[in-house]
């Protein structure tokens, strides 16, 4: 499955070392569809989280985009 559109990064926090690895949405979607796990960029452990379905990944992106849009609206209103 190819992802076409903006490609924001998703932060995945390692439950072991608490490092946040930033993964592009397209990369995370590829991991999920190939049933692979993300590796922590700090300690190298596989991150076993419940983002293992495409629906969960899409909800993460949707939430981040909503937050970004709300912040943009606040900036525009503040500067008006």
Name the residue range of residue 38's domain.
9-79
- 33 inside domain: yes
Cβ atoms of 43 and 17 within 8 Å: the answer is yes
Residue 23 has pLDDT above 90, yes or no: no
Q: pLDDT for 24-53, tens place per residue?
A: 888 888 887 888 888 888 999 988 755 555
pLDDT-derived band of residue 10, with 50, 70 and 90 as boundaries?
A: confident
Domain count, the chain: 1
Please give the Cα distance from 25 to 58 (Å, whole number).
Answer: 9
Look up residue 46 and give its DSSP letter: E
Record the pTM: 0.51
9 has which bridge partners? 24
List, for residues 55-71, the tens digit of each pLDDT value: 677 787 788 888 888 98
Does any domain span residue 3? no
């Amino acid at each position: 499955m190819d992802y076409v559109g903006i490609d924001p990064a998703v932060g995945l926090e390692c439950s072991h070392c608490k490092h946040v690895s930033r993964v592009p949405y397209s990369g995370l979607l590829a991991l999920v569809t190939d049933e692979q796990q993300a590796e922590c960029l700090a300690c190298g452990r596989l991150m076993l989280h419940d983002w293992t379905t495409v629906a969960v990944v899409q909800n993460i992106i949707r939430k981040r985009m909503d937050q970004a849009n709300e912040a943009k609206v606040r900036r525009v209103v503040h500067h008006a």
